[in-house]
Chain A
Amino acid sequence: MSRILITGGRLLDPASGLDETGDVAIADGRIVALGGAIADFTPEQTIDASDQWVMPGLIDLAARLREPGATRKADIASEARAAAAAGITTLVMPPDTDPVMDTPSVVDLVNHRAHQAGAARVVPLGALTRGLAGEQLPGMAALAAAGCPAVSDAGRPLRDGLVLRRALEYASTFSLPAILTPVDPDLGQGCVHEGPTATRLGLPGIPVAAETAGLGRQIAIASATRARVHFSRLSSAAGARLFAAARREQREISADVAIHQLFLTDQDLMGYDPRFHVDPPLRDIVDREALRQAVADGVIDIICSDHQPHDRDAKDGPFASTAPGAAGIDTLLPLVLRLVREGVLPLQRALAAVTVTPARLLGLEAGRLETGAVADITVVAQNNPWFCTPETLRSRGHNSPFLGWEFDTRVTHTLVDGHRIHDASAAD
């Protein structure tokens, strides 16, 4: 295994707060030395990172890769390579594949494909219920043994409170965290945020109460179990408030937000542009500011791309008939760094939300830049502008709501397990 020396970069480790200029020595897939000028190390390859940032590779807590089942939209290899080019070294994949990831055989298939791709790591989540149908339990012990670090409802919240309680209790038996979608499925019918924009456009609205009713019920049920519960994709000010209050009582809960919720609002869909059709819906400016504040306060401590690549047909047509979801892996890191530049949150906290915090939730080794850590590393050049266009997106999904935006950070190198899986100078 090769020995790599990354020299002269700004080393950033949100777990320890490290922020200094220095070298990183990598051997046998691990960081063997870190900081200052490393002299007593004989590298086979050297990466000059002067004037660049060296950080743990990103861990994206929610990325649909569309394989198995929908490879017309994307596949594991395409998205794992796109992730590598975007500085993401771990893609966490919800279980709503076809077939659903509720048996080890599907998990094995995903792991095999990810291994073949040789790009970003792929971490499959197990289904919270069999077939995600909300009725019976899957073999969670077998899923854990196959490599699933958590179970998830994958955006299909359970209607039956008793089944939810039992699924959480059973998951906790095997120390599997449960990732829940905080939505009341009946109130959640619609395709845009309920409010003036929905009324103007004549589209069925999803009230904020769909989130608070779902979240409140799930918090109550979770408190009756020993499960470690994580709430995915909060979208509203009221939801963030409710979650914050619950977290003061129950420390063992956490929540995330999709990065597009921190930049966009329902105003963006006045032209019925299906790229802004996402679930949960883009809400109003008050909600967006409250979500930013919740991230700044550390109440919401994970940010994900909620990557949902679609083919052209799925996003073509009148708004309500198009498929919800936005492609997001290409823009996750640039948008997180933009939050820092806009003064929403300090750099280390922003990086923690996409590295060490999701790693801790799932018990992953990655997400740290320290001696002995696994060498999943991203090197980022500053002041390197590019436009987000269908041509610059690496994901097969071109349904990005950020087309036309300009970003000024670019990933130059990505390493997974000490292997160089992306090298901008070679790719361009």
Chain B
Amino acid sequence: MSVQIDHDGRLRHFLTTEGLDPALLERILDTAESFSGVIGKSVKKVPLLRGRTVINLFFESSTRTRTTFELAAKRLSADVLNVSADTTATKGESLLDMLRNLQAMQADMFVIRHAESGAAEYFARHVDPGVAVLNAGDGWHAHPTQAMLDAFTIRRHKGHFEPLRIAIVGDIRHSRVARSQIHALNGLGAGEIRVIAPNTLLPADIDSLGVQVYTDLSAGLRDVDVVIALRLQRERMQGALLPGEAEYFRHYGLTEARLGPAHPEAIVMHPGPINRGVEIDSALADGPRSVILDQVTNGIAVRMAVMTMVLGVAPDSAREEA
């Protein structure tokens, strides 16, 4: 698992939040903080990645994640190429061949999303030295930049992690976002992390990741400071995982009323895209507790931070080396 860390303890790729040094997690957030100023300015560019090439390689469709990665790279003055894998995967080219071909185009960084768990690590093991891999989501395994932008959003609204109770609600079993959030928030010292879901949507031994497990929404939401709703994919209604959207919403859907047991100032998050009326109702998603759009904005700063860190040009590390 240490393929993402080099001999000096520096981030070389960003594949997972599992097992990362808490100081490194903090550094990602601090670096993102320094970039969030750039985003507010009218001229939104810094030259840290000038002359570098970033390839977005998406084997699964995505709008939000791909666009924010693209914006992050462009604000760092990198050249960005978007490759949607449908065009090549259908030609029977192997993953490795595709990677080698793109690498031959002198890419410095790959941002990869793939439906198979472990795909990002597979790429990281096969790229040339000096080329960085950012995991933009692999199967059910990890989505580390999403988790870091969530942590960033939580820190901005709540300050320190230690006193916080954070609940993740929904399809934990199939969620790379939940796994990465759990590792990141535990690493950052969050007081308590809870997962809330029916048993069919909980993976085996999820408690071994360091979470409290609840199947009852009201009990799980008691006194929490942060509620994270997960997207429930509609295809989960097939295959005997759930009986239907109506029953799911009745028992696990988030509404202002169901948030009654939570802390009065609890914030509500969602990694998007939202299924309104399935995992969360519109009034809550668009209401004052919701920080969902902050998450999207923060995603750019967090991705800028990680992109500069893996190439060793982050403002902080540059100062340290000088």
Contact = CB atoms under 8 A, between A and B. Distances in A.
Interface of A: 194-196, 198-205, 207, 270-272, 313, 316-321
A399 B209 CA distance: 31
A199 B205 contact: yes
A291 B118 CA distance: 29
Contact of B204 (A194, A202, A316, A320): A194
Contacts of A271: 1, 3, 121
B116 A198 contact: no
Given A272-B118, A318-B116, A199 B176 contact: no
Contact of A199 (B94, B95, B121, B204): B204
B140 A202 contact: yes
Nearest to A313: B94
B95 A202 contact: no
B228 interface: no
Given A196-B208, A203-B140, A270-B1, 16 more contacts: A195-B204, A198-B204, A199-B205, A199-B209, A200-B179, A200-B209, A202-B118, A202-B176, A202-B179, A203-B139, A207-B204, A272-B121, A317-B116, A320-B116, A320-B117, A320-B139
9 contacts: A196-B208, A196-B209, A199-B204, A202-B117, A202-B139, A203-B140, A271-B121, A317-B94, A317-B96
Contact of B203 (A198, A316, A317, A318): A198
- The main secondary structure of chain A at its interface with chain B is loop
Nearest to A191: B117
A324 to B, nearest CB: 15
Nearest to B116: A318
Interface of B: 1, 3, 18, 94-96, 114, 116-119, 121-122, 138-142, 176, 179, 203-206, 208-209
Nearest to B140: A202
A203 B174 CA distance: 9
A316 B116 contact: no
Contacts of A317: 94-96, 116, 122
Contact of A318 (B3, B18, B118, B206): B118
A321 B118 CA distance: 10
A69 to B, nearest CB: 21
Which 9 residue pairs of A and B lie closest in terms of their CB atoms, listed nearest first? A202-B141, A202-B140, A318-B116, A272-B118, A202-B117, A196-B208, A199-B203, A318-B119, A196-B205
Contacts of A316: 94, 96
B17 to A, nearest CB: 12
A64 B6 CA distance: 41
Given A271-B1, A320-B139, A201 B94 contact: no
Nearest to B176: A202
Contacts of A196: 204-205, 208-209
A317 B204 CA distance: 25
